[in-house]
Structures are given as structure tokens and as C-alpha cells.
Structure 1
Amino acid sequence: MNKKGIIIVIEDDLDDQFVLEEAFVELDFPNKRIYFPDGFAALDYLHAHHGSIFLILSDVNLPKLTGLELRVELKKNADIALKCVPYLYLTTSLNHAHVVEAYCDSVQGFFVKPADFEEIKELLETIVRYWTASASSRLHEECF
């Protein structure tokens, strides 16, 4: 993980993409953000991309390849799995089975998107600051 790397956001709802980007802009984090509408598009990018990625924020309910299925696919690929990139879910629905499945698959976080813009900003700020301060970000700077 490279704390100055790209933040990958996998979100099929264009309104949610817009709100998330507005929150990132207001927070003034230097990380470039790339948005993908489905799991396959993100998977294709991650297979081909050889640059630095800071973290992945993924919705659970995605068309074509769900966030949970994408996580499984990424873990199958040693080149991607060894890049030390935190994979977090950011979703609108809280489904107990999804939460259990996510944590059984060693996800690094599962968050429900708040409805309020200020709360979304606070959540994104907490996530980014946590992973920026994390020892794993210092230990694995050579990753990805």
C-alpha cells in the first residue's frame, strides 16, 4: 500500500459517485480517485495497472460482479493480493449475511454510507486518516 497512491472507488450509482467525489474534493486529500461502475471494470483495471494504489472502496451490490465476488477474484491473483491494498466495503444497505461474509473473507472494513453529506465526509476522512496512520502503510510502502 502506498498512502499517496490512487483511491479506487467501485460504485455503480452515479449520484453516489458524485457525492463521494464532492466529499473527497472538500477534504482536499491529494490522492487521485478512479471510479468504476462494476466489479469487472475494476478487475480489468487492477489486472492491468502497475502503479500505486492506496485503498479500494467497494459497494457490495454491483452489477456483473458484486463487491464480494470481486474481493474473492482479487485474492486469487497473487500479483494483486501481495500488493497490500486495503479493501473496504462502503455500501448503502446493511445486510448481516454480507457483513459476515466480508469479514470471513478478511476484509479490512465494512461501512454503511451515511445519508448526510457531512457524515459522508467525516467517514471518508476517518477511513483515509486511519489508513494513512496505519503501521501497515509504513511497513508496506514497497508494496504496489
Structure 2
Amino acid sequence: MNKNGPVIIIEDDTDDQFMLNLVFQKLAYSNKIIYFLDSEKALDFLDKTDEMPFLILSDINMPKLDGFALRHKIHIDAQLQVKCIPYLFFSTAVNQQMVIDAYSLSVQGFFIKQNTLDELEKTISVIMEYWKRCASPNNF
């Protein structure tokens, strides 16, 4: 995990992207934010980039490849596994089975998208601060 690396946001809803962009601008983290509208493009980027992302925030319900399928592909890819990129679900769709399925794929968090800018800001701040303070195997 590269604490100064980019935050990868996989979100097909442009309104949600806009809200997240406002929050990240206000919080002023130095991390670059990279948005993807679909999981296949995000996976292609992760496979080809030399950058070490800080974390991945992924929606679940997306066209082509949903968040669960993307997580599975990353989880079984040895090259991506060693990068130790925290993978977090960030979705409006949630039920108990989805959370069970997410954690069975070894996600590091499941967060519900907030409806207000203030609540979204609090959630993003908690996520970023937690992972900024967390140690990972490739920090040494």
C-alpha cells in the first residue's frame, strides 16, 4: 500500500462521482483521485500501471463486471495481491447477504454511500485517516 498513491474510485454514476470529487477537494488529501466508470477499465489500469494505488473504492452494481466479480479477479491475481491495495465497497445497495459475500472475498470494508455531502465527507475522512495510519507489508 502506497499511502501517497492514487485513490481508485470505480463508480458508474456521474452524480456520485461529482459528490465524491467535491468531498475529496474539500478534504485536500494529496492523493490523486482516478475515476473509472466501469470495472473492466479499472482492472486494465491496475494490471498495466506502475503506480501503486493507495486504495480502491468500488461500487457494486455496475455494467459489464460488477464489484464482486472485480474483487474476485483482483483477489486471485498474484501480481495484484502483492500490491496490498485495500479494497472497499462503497454502495447504496446493501443487504446482509451482500455484506457476507463481500467479506468472504476479503474486502477490507463495506461502506454505505451517504445522502448528504456532510455525511459523505465524514465517511471519506474516516476511511482515508484509517488507511493513512495503517501498516501494510510493503510499507517496510
Q: How far, CA to CA, are the matches of 2:138 and 2:31 in structure 1?
A: 17
What does residue 103 of structure 2 align with? 103
Give 1:41's aligned amino acid. Answer: K
Match of 1:47 in 2: 47
Whether contact under 8 Å (2:74, 2:80) holds in the other structure is yes
**Residues 10-52 of structure 1, C-alpha deviation per residue, up to 9 Å, x if partnerless?**
0000000010011000000110000001111111111111112
Number of positions where the alignment pairs a residue of Structure 1 with one of Structure 2: 140
* Matches for 1:1-144 after TM superposition, within 5 Å: 1-136=1-136, 139-141=137-139
Task: Give the superposition deviation at 1:141.
Answer: 2.4
Tell me the secondary structure at the aligned position of residue 56 of structure 1.
strand
TM-score (norm 2): 0.97
Note if contact 2:75-2:105 (Cα within 8 Å) is conserved in structure 1. Answer: no
Q: Higher relative CO (CA 8 A, sep ≥ 6), structure 1 or 2?
A: 1
Where does structure 2 lack aligned partners over 5 or more consecutive residues?
none
Which amino acid in 1 is paired with 2:78?
A
Structure 1 unmatched ranges of 5 or more: none
- TM-score normalised to structure 1 length: 0.94
* RMSD across aligned positions (CA): 1.0
